[in-house]
Amino acid sequence: MTKTELINSIADKANCTKKDAAAALEATLSAIEEALVKGDKVAITGFGTFEVRKREKKTCINPRTKEKMVCPPSNAPAFKAGKGLKEAVNAKKGAKKSSKKK
């Protein structure tokens, strides 16, 4: 699903204009980004948690030259799915598998 398709889906489900749906999506993504930049977690009950994970420095190999180099420490955004989202995804998979077997 693309961002445009997501905006269209939000507009349909919330019974609002695409412009309002786009503004709501942008505001949501912006708020999540700002929280992560500050180092905060964003937990959405039943959906999941967005957080920043620290990566330690490590030795890497340049694939072109095969030369060893040190990759500096960095921060990486991460998402962990919540119980409700996991159950919803697994329920959908189960329904598709059972329909294929018939």
DSSP string, 44-58: ETTTEEEEEEEE--E
pTM for this one?
0.75
Terminal CA-CA length for the chain:
28
Rounded Cα distance between 96 and 51, Å, is 32
Q: The domain 41-102: what is its CATH number?
A: 4.10.520.10
Beta strand 68-71 with 74-81: parallel, antiparallel or unpaired? unpaired
Where do the structural domains in the chain lie, given as residue ranges? 1-39, 41-102
Q: In tens digits, what is the pLDDT along the chain, a chain of 102 residues?
A: 999 999 999 999 999 999 999 999 999 999 999 999 999 999 999 999 999 999 999 999 999 999 999 999 999 999 999 999 999 999 876 555 544 444
Cβ-based burial of 21 (10 A; exposed 0-12, middle 13-18, buried ≥19):
buried
